[in-house]
Amino acid sequence: MAQQTAAKAPPKKPVSTGGVFFSFAPWIIFGVVASPSTWEYAALAALIAAIVLSGRDILHGRLRPLDITGIVFFAVLSVLALALDRGQLVWLETYAQVISNGLVALVALGSLFADPFTAQYARESSPRAVWDSPVFQHINRVLTAVWGAVFALMTVSTWLAVRYPAQDDWFNWVVPIALLVVAVKFTEHYPEAYKARVL
């Protein structure tokens, strides 16, 4: 009976905002630092951040898809910066932020078809007994969808910054930062609000 009760109990902490942020940190660093004249340094800084923040997971052989994607993507950018001349990298200079945001959106939304990426963090702070509970699964599918949608909107916003350079500050800074704040706040409050509604 006790085991059945434990299995039905909802997770107390469905997802760790800090854990999710650490995986997003390299992408955020790249988004903040990257520009047509600094994207190479942004890629290198993001690569270093991705490796450092994933160091413990690398040692234990348990990298998450978003971390792997970040390490590979920023490593490729760094190699391209060294291997190609500036004339061959105009397209990358122009669309680096668009590509990086779009890639995160694809990874996040794509994980909904297998294992929602926020669930990978939530399991670290939740008992195994609740991992398969409907509440746990629903919360993490919603959170993953929200983060995927936020980065999809950031992809559009940074693309608009390329199209309308006069509004660059709005589309490259104000809108993305506002979207990230919304995602973080939603991640902090939605789990408890949902549990209070259904339990």
Look at residues 130, 137, 100, 135 and name the one whose alpha carbon lies nearest to residue 115: 137
State pLDDT tens for residues 109-124. Answer: 999 999 999 998 888 8
State pLDDT tens for residues 122-162. Answer: 888 889 898 999 999 999 999 999 999 999 999 999 999 99
Mean pLDDT score across all residues of the chain? 85
Question: Which pLDDT score, from 0 to 100, does residue 163 have?
Answer: 95
Mean pLDDT of 158-177: 93
State pLDDT tens for residues 18-46. Answer: 567 778 889 888 877 777 677 788 889 99
C-alpha separations of 132 from 39, 125, 128 in Å: 42, 14, 8
**DSSP single-letter state for residue 170:** I
Tokens of 136: 């746990």
pLDDT of 2 > 50? The answer is no
**DSSP single-letter state for residue 60:** T
Burial 72-100 (b: 16+ CB within 10 A, else e): ebbbebbeebeeeeeeebeebbeebbbbb
Look at residues 153, 142, 52, 138 and name the one whose alpha carbon lies nearest to residue 104: 153
- Alpha-carbon distance 157 to 81, whole Å? 25
Question: Which pLDDT score, from 0 to 100, does residue 6 have?
Answer: 42
Considering the entire predicted model, what is its pTM? 0.83
Q: CA 142, 52, 63, 82 torsion: positive or negative? A: positive
- Alpha-carbon distance 45 to 47, whole Å? 5
State which amino acid sits at residue 161.
Answer: A
Identify the residue with better confidence: 83 or 147: 147
